[in-house]
Amino acid sequence: LKLCLRSTNHWFICCRSLAYQPIERFLSTDTTVKHLEADQFIKGNIIYCEYQAMLTSDGTYRNVIVGQHYSWPVYDYAEGRGINATFSEISFFIQRNDTEVLIADKNNGCIRQLDRLTNITELFAGVCEKLRGYSDIVRDGNRLNATFRRINSLFLYKSTLFILESNAQRIRKLDLVSDEVSTVVTSENFTLSHHLPQTMVADSITGLMYVTTTYGLAVYNPTSDTFRYMVSYQQKGYQDGSLDASRWYYNNGMVYLPNNTLIIADINNGHLRIVNLKSENVTTWCFYNPKTLQNCTITKPMALAIIGCSLYVSTYQRISTIQIPESYCRSQITEDQMQWTSKLKNWVSNNNGETIGL
DSSP code string of 3-69: ---EEEEEE----TTS---EEEEEEE-SS--SEEEE-SSSTT-EEEEETEEEEEE-SSBEEEEEEE-
Q: Write the CB contacts of 157 (distance below 8 Å, at least 6 apart in sequence).
A: 202, 209, 222
pLDDT of residue 190: 55
Cα(200)–Cα(190) distance, integer angstroms? 16
Lowest mean pLDDT among 130-134, 223-227, 328-332: 328-332
Assign 348 a pLDDT band (cuts: 50, 70, 90): very low
Quick check: 121 and 112 in contact, CB under 8 A? yes
Cβ neighbours of 30 (radius 10 Å): 15
Amino acid sitting at position 32: T
Percent of the chain with pLDDT over 70: 75
pLDDT of residue 138: 85
Nearest to 155 by CA among 264, 35, 308, 51: 35
pLDDT of residue 11: 26
- Tell me the per-residue pLDDT of 260-289, one tens digit each, with 9 for 90 and over: 899 999 998 888 999 999 999 999 887 665
On the question of pLDDT at 114 being above 90, the answer is yes
On the question of pLDDT at 209 being above 90, the answer is yes
CA 138 from chain centre, in angstroms, equals 24
Residue ranges of E strands in 69-109 = 90-95, 100-105
Mean pLDDT (the chain, rounded):
80
β-sheet bridge partners, residue 147: 139
Nearest to 275 by CA among 210, 220, 200, 329: 210
Cα(259)–Cα(84) distance, integer angstroms? 44
pLDDT of residue 169: 78
Assign 131 a pLDDT band (cuts: 50, 70, 90): low
Lowest mean pLDDT among 29-33, 64-68, 86-90: 29-33
Instruction: Tell me the whole-structure pTM to 2 decimals.
Output: 0.82
pLDDT of residue 149: 87
Q: What is the mean pLDDT of residues 7-33?
A: 52
Cα(263)–Cα(274) distance, integer angstroms? 5
Alpha carbon distance, N-terminus to C-terminus of the chain: 10
Assign 188 a pLDDT band (cuts: 50, 70, 90): low
Q: What is the mean pLDDT of residues 58-75?
A: 82
